[in-house]
Structure 1
Amino acid sequence: MTSLRTLVVDDEPLARNLLKACLEDIPEIEVIGECQNGREAVQAVLELNPDLMFLDIQMPGMNGFDVVKALQADAMPMVVFSTAYQQYALDAFDVHAVDYLLKPLEEDRLQRAVERALDRFQKADSEIENKTPLIGAIDRIAKKIHRQGITGQDAPPAPEKPAGPKKIAIKDSETVTMVPETEIDWVDAAGDYMCIHVKGTTHIMRCTMKELLGKLDEAVFKRVHRSTIVNLERIEQVKPHTKGEYFLFLDCGERLKVSRNYRESIKEFLSGAA
């Protein structure tokens, strides 16, 4: 069985201990060290040569991206970033991170990150592809982090919502597609994957229904079935079905069923059809 020699880096003792405790329950992980700041992390990587590093982004002094910048490509382990700020997800992918974890930590999300690391480790070629991040992207990201003053001790609140439509980052292999939230028609679930339907195109996103709903505007996107989310602004007609169920007809031509358990989520639309 493949075992990944793993380093845990976080300036917060509680977060570090929680992550270690969760990793101890995963047989494919062997925690070989822990660090409380970026400088310790760089030294530990050079001395221990880990396969995988769980790396906090917001740390005082040397943040997570600074750590990656300080390491040479041939010494770079696979990286899973951890952060309390959703806006750094795309930056994490820019440097070929295996994954990123949003705090507070969710164990099922951690398990999926480990599975991705194992998959990348097993697919790595003789040139150690899994240890080659896009180092050139680090300067831009590190400068942005320092400009915004993001550190572990004095992290400001999340930035105000930017002008223009919010975008959802959908990662497919090494490509990230930014989809404007307002262009999403509806979403259906297929296990741990979300099929996001946008103007006749379907994008596949690896996440849970709960995770995706947390990223979308709750006033516009509603769950109408255990496996379906709809953009309320796409609804053209609502027709009653049987036993308290309804059909929604969207402006893209799609027909969706509203189960009885979720009819309250679109009650403003259903009021005229009841």
Structure 2
Amino acid sequence: MKHGRVVFEDRTLDVTEGQGGKVRLPDGREVAETEVQWLPPMAFGTIFVLGLNYADHAKEIAFNKAPEEPLVFLKGPNALQGHRGDTWRPADVGYMHFECELAVVIGKTCRNVPREQAYEVVAGYCTANDYAIRDYLENFYRPNLRVKNRDGATPIGPWFVDAADIPDPMNLRLRSWVNGELKQDGSTRDMVHDIPALIAHLSSFMTLNPGDVILTGTPDGVADSKVGDEIVTEVEGVGRLVNYIVGEPLASIPLNGSTVEPLNR
């Protein structure tokens, strides 16, 4: 089953997928996906992000050899954005690219998980788009926070899909479109470190908890995202995620009913 979270009629609701791609509300009504405001599909815990986990992507950005050990860094929850949401492109950057990724959601508290039992601790999967601002990248092994932790720069959703509905997560097609033009077309089977290896590695030195999520990396085909672009990322069987690139506001902006001042740049 596909599960999501939306705002509808000023209420935050847990919803499921209805007929013909519609959104089924808790009271049984079905509405078009454009009639709701999408949130990330669940409350996530620790957000793990894989770098250079596809050899073809490592090569396209002039990193000739993928890391022998998983290259993992963390992301703050403020980076997450819902389906059909906006992502700001900072005015002072020259290259900000999308990254279609399979997100793996942990379902059990676990430590030292053998790779042969890794799927037993997986609750399900989401589609994610992990934007990277290459201007700020100083070191692939220690990415500057500004590369991956901008507010709203990691759309995720629209759905969380139960693990039982994805029988082979290591054989899913990943695709991205910019304004309707296909730019990225790969498969999870080309991961350098597969899902069981990632879970075994992370749980070998820290406890994983329900709601923790692992963004597993992206294949080649990334491209610059410009203000006005519609970016669509899709993971086969998991979901089609739409996102819009907008110019970063320079004035105060409303955020959840409050007013905040942007940091000086």
TM-score (norm 2): 0.20
Whose Rg is larger? 1
More helix by share: 1
Q: Scaled by the length of structure 1, what TM-score is found?
A: 0.20
Larger RCO (CA under 8 A, 6+ residues apart): 2
